[in-house]
Structure 1
Amino acid sequence: MIWASALIFITALSSGVCDDGHEMEEFLKREYTLSKPYQDVGVSGSSHWELMGDALVSSDYVRLTPDQQSKQGAIWSRMPCHLSDWELQVHFRVHGQGKKNLNGDGLAVWYTKERMQRGPVFGNRDFFTGLGVFVDTYPNEEKLLEAQKKRYTPRTQRIFPYVLAMVGNGSISYDHDRDGRPTELGGCNAMVRNQKHETFLFIRYVRRRLTVMMDIDGQHEWRDCLDVPGVRLPQGFYFGASAVTGDLSDNHDLISMKLYQLTILRSKQEDEEQEEVLVPSVDNIDLLRPPVDEESVSSVGIFFSVLFTLLGVFLLVVVGLVLYEHWSESRRKRFY
């Protein structure tokens, strides 16, 4: 089958040598792998995976949401992952009756401290702790600005569906109205809807470098989406996937999630420098205070500049009037 051949191709690509030249071996971790025939998933407590919300299992996929309004569903690993370097291959499909941008809202792949919690971020909780990779299929910011009759400038325009990544430490919120733009680590457009073939999402975390790639054309070719060094993720978090629909909808089908342990040959010095990570972070990015949009900063700056200028002029006028009255009074006294 086509998808089976694609999986073989993906596995072959993900072994061998890291981007930084280090030799690497990979091992499939079955306890963190979801694949057909989804034995006991959502039925027995003995399964490694647990369903939530509107998610259901068929013989060919785990449907996170049906193509219906106001649905949300998820699937979560029951076991925390204690690997320092790993690679996650996600095989999924997004399809529905909606055309162009009349569909939504999207799905997410998670590696987080929290699990099995409903929320507004693609069916998961906000203020999460860990990594979220989002396949966003609806341009909320663009539609919001259109409704407010504001111009959507090319500088900020995206093509949807759009894939992006975010690292949270439990204290920052995903900005739904702005499609996650303030906290985005990087992203790319990915036309994943209503394809005749399934889509593959590749997430690699090795030597504190986060890499996301896509195969959306069915040509067995990876396309770079984002590559971010200095990402620090603690061990012991949970893998999961979730999806949500609102007034618009789609089928969000998860076909497989396969986790590989990556074994990297490190020097003795590198092993000694490998300190334990307790809180998610990204080098040179303050996760306690999300980035502020430059346009917003400029508007606020102009407002306060004008305000203080007017106050200064008013103060000068008042002082001038007081001095003038004092001078007039003194002048009158000299003549009388």
Structure 2
Amino acid sequence: MANIVTFVGCFLHLLLIFVFSTVLGEWNTKDYLKREHSLVKPYQSSGMNIPMWDIIGSTMVTNNYIRLTSDHQSKSGGIWNSQPVLVKNWELHVQFRVHGTGRTLYGDGFCIWYVKDRMQLGKVFGSRDLFSGLAIFLDTYSNHNGPHNHVHPYISAMVNNGSLSYDHDADGTHTELSGCEAQFRNKDYDTFISIRYHENTLKVFTDIDNKNNWKECFSVTGVHLPTGYYIGASAATGELADNHDVISIKLYELDVPGSVNPEDYKNIIPSAEHFAEPREHVDDAPPASWSVWKIMLVIILLIIVFVVAGIVGIYFYQKHQEGNRKRFY
């Protein structure tokens, strides 16, 4: 009898562990997914509208992806969530593809935003400069001037309170929190990035090797962000171009619902306690009006012109002299 009771007790204990583990698993994978901040296929409900999302600029919505820019020059576009994020700790997963015909020259890249103001086209990867909030830049522009301590594509983070300007020519070095190299361009499969903000720590991971495994890009402590900002993605092309496609966006809440009052964090001014070590800024060299080769070419052309003019002059002089002699005789 005692053995039966022990067996039943062990069975119930294991059952409770199984149920509890299942519930925890559901919390992490389903209950904490914030559907009002997520974008998954199929995108459209009726017409061209995407529930709780707005598009701007050159953005095109298809059945399989949302193309922020096509592989053409001077394009900019974006997609923005219409609902403010009211959770303090969150994790954002973005499935994307960047691809194009360029082999050695391409650009410019795209950005994932958590900012105060949305739906504003601008010069920073298709959105406004002097923003307030967080930007994660996926920079593919491979034709920069000046010194570099990394190659492209390059992922970096910037926190702004609205007073800092992004220096595109220097890859944002002077305002960068941290960054890493990531060869996500022209893959035959979809690539992923994870942005995790938890207890004032920002962590970025990538899955760009088709291994279904996150690899840490960087981690920065002392990052302060308010609640109530908006998530979005934007991209831009200039003289160089690429297709910038977003396939899905999923935001997960990392807090137990109701454990944090978002009102307590809405007035925080975006800031960061640590920044990456900046490299010296080197301005682009002004174009030389007369290079050595140009001067030599001009000299050679002038010599040729003078020689030809001399030959022609001598020829006509001789003809003129022959004519005078004929008239004399």
Same fold flag (TM > 0.5): yes
Q: Is 1:182 matched up with 2:174? A: yes
- The one-letter code matched in structure 2 to 1:256 is S
Equivalent in the alignment of 1:144 = 145
Change (3 A) 1:296 1:94: closer
Residue 199 of structure 1, CA deviation: 0.6
Q: Report the counterpart of residue 35 of structure 1 in structure 2.
A: 40
Whole-angstrom distance in 1 between the partners of 2:46 and 2:108: 25
Q: Summarize the Cα distance change of 1:178–1:284 in structure 2 as closer, same or farther, 3 Å threshold.
A: closer
**Does residue 58 of the first structure (1) align with residue 62 of the second (2)?**
yes
1:85 aligns with 2:89: yes
- Find out whether 1:194 has 2:199 as its counterpart: no
- The CA deviation string for residues 263-318 of structure 1, in whole angstroms up to 9 with x for no partner, is 2599x9x99xx766521011256xxxxx8956469xxxxxxxxxxxxxxxxxxxxx
Residue aligning to 1:165: 157
User: How far apart, CA to CA, are the structure 2 residues paired with 1:55 and 1:33?
Assistant: 18
User: Is contact 1:110–1:133 with CA below 8 Å preserved after alignment?
Assistant: yes
* Cα distance change on mapping 1:139 and 1:97 into 2, 3 Å: closer
* 1:144 Cα offset (Å): 2.0
In structure 2, the CA distance between the partners of 1:116 and 1:227, relative to structure 1 (3 Å rule), is: same
TM-score for the superposition, normalised by structure 1: 0.70
Letter in 2 for 1:144: N
* Alignment match of 2:119 (pick from 116, 122, 129): 116
Q: Which residue type is aligned with residue 91 of structure 1?
A: Q
> TM-score if structure 2 supplies the norm length?
0.72
For each residue in 1:47-77, what CA deviation from the matched residue of structure 2 results, as whole angstroms up to 9, or x when unmatched?
Answer: 2000000001000000000000000000001
CA distance in 1, matches of 2:110, 2:279: 28
Please tell me the residue identity of whatever aligns with 1:76.
W
Output the CA distance in 2 between the equivalents of 1:110 and 1:77: 10
Aligned in 2, Cα 1:264/1:184: closer, same or farther, shift over 3 Å? farther
Correspondence for 2:316: none
Does 2:195 match 1:220? no
Q: Which amino acid aligns with 1:29?
A: K
Separation in structure 2 between the aligned mates of residue 137 and residue 293 of structure 1, nearest angstrom: 20
Q: Report the CA distance between 1:198 and its aligned residue.
A: 0.8
AA in 1 matched with 2:85: C
Q: Return the offset for 1:81.
A: 0.9
Counterpart of 1:324 in structure 2 is none
8 Å contact kept, 1:24–1:263: no
8 Å Cα contact 2:88-2:265 kept in structure 1: no
Amino acid at match of 1:27: Y
1:135 pairs with 2:138: yes
Larger Rg: 2
Q: Does 1:125 align with 2:128?
A: yes
- 1-side partners of 2:274 and 2:167: how far apart? 21
1:41 to partner: Cα distance: 8.3
SS in 1 for 2:63: coil
**Maintained 8 Å contact 2:107/2:241:** yes
Q: Which amino acid aligns with 2:118?
A: R
Q: Structure 1 unaligned runs (5+)?
A: 1-14, 17-22, 146-151, 286-290, 298-336
Aligned residue-pair number: 255
d(CA) in 2 for partners of 1:87, 1:114: 20
Is 1:232–1:277's contact at 8 Å kept on the other side of the alignment?
no
Question: In the alignment, which residue of structure 1 is the partner of 2:272?
Answer: 282
What secondary structure is seen at the aligned counterpart in 1 of 2:180?
strand
Q: Which amino acid aligns with 2:82?
A: R
CA deviation after TM superposition for structure 1 residue 157, in Å: 2.2
Contact 2:107 2:142 in 1 (8 A): no
Aligned equivalent of 1:327: none
Residue in structure 1 matched with residue 320 of structure 2 by the alignment: none
Q: Which runs of 5+ in 2 are unaligned?
A: 1-23, 283-329
Compute the RMSD of aligned alpha carbons. Answer: 2.7
